[in-house]
Amino acid sequence: MAARKPFIVGIGGTTRAGSSSEQALAMALKFAADAGAETLLFGGADLVKLPMYDPDPGTMTDEGKKLVEILRKADGVIVSSPCYHGGVSGLIKNAIDYIEEMRADPRVYLDGRSIGVIACGYGYQGPGPVLAQLRQTAHALRGWPTPLGVGINSAVVKFQNGECSEAGIAKQIEIMAQQVTEFARHRIAAIG
């Protein structure tokens, strides 16, 4: 019997349609699909529907429930955040906060899931700290960040029609997506 395909969920983007962070995420998910994964994009248009996370029981909206159920099924997650004032955007952080609903799951938070990270900022300074924050958050949620995270200077790197203007950045996104997918595949094989 063939093993099931890894399920990789992408979370990212901004309130602006076509943002660099969402296009980079879409590219990463395409590479994950090319590597044999089933993928799902939870982009900016989805993220804006999430109210501020409230841990109080009974306050969960349908949008919040949908995100949590999707993440429970995920074998890997790729998070792509814009760099806002040296940090992860509030939109992305709010989506991540919903993972608190998985605190009592048999597989707590993002335990054992591969986590790929992308940071997009208009300059060279922002992506580094945001990558570090996303990795730190992945560790706090018991996820396993991939060896490669992708920092993108969106003043130089442009995305259009599923293509990246810089071959080196596209290759980094591909490698990271393959790492997420391969780790997920190995985890599936190990635990069933």
Q: Dump pLDDT digits (tens) for 64-99.
A: 999 999 999 999 999 999 999 989 999 999 999 999
Q: How confident is the model at residue 192 (pLDDT cuts 50, 70, 90)?
A: low
Q: How confident is the model at residue 58 (pLDDT cuts 50, 70, 90)?
A: confident
Asked whether residue 181 carries a pLDDT value surpassing 90, the answer given is yes
Which tokens belong to 86? Answer: 């040296």
DSSP sequence for 91-149: HHHHHHHGGGGGTTSSS-TTTT-EEEEEEEESSSSSHHHHHHHHHHHHHHTT-EE-S--
pLDDT at residue 17 in the model: 85
Q: How confident is the model at residue 2 (pLDDT cuts 50, 70, 90)?
A: low
Q: How confident is the model at residue 18 (pLDDT cuts 50, 70, 90)?
A: confident
Percent of the chain with pLDDT over 90: 91
Asked whether residue 173 carries a pLDDT value surpassing 80, the answer given is yes
CATH number of this structure's domain 7-191, picked from the four choices 1.10.1200.10, 3.40.50.300, 3.60.15.10, 3.40.50.360:
3.40.50.360
pLDDT at residue 57 in the model: 82
Q: What is the mean pLDDT of the chain?
A: 95
Q: Ramachandran region of residue 106, left (φ > 0), alpha (ψ -120 to 50) or beta?
A: alpha
Mean pLDDT of the region 134-141: 97
pLDDT at residue 154 in the model: 95
Q: How confident is the model at residue 191 (pLDDT cuts 50, 70, 90)?
A: confident
pTM score, whole prediction: 0.96
Cβ proximity of 22 and 40 under 8 Å: no
Mean pLDDT of the region 134-158: 97
| Whole-number Å distance between alpha carbons of 133 and 107 | 23
Asked whether residue 60 carries a pLDDT value surpassing 60, the answer given is yes
The span from the first CA to the last CA of the chain, in angstroms, equals 12
Asked whether residue 1 carries a pLDDT value surpassing 60, the answer given is no
Residue at 153: amino acid letter: N
| Whole-number Å distance between alpha carbons of 83 and 24 | 14
| Whole-number Å distance between alpha carbons of 119 and 142 | 20
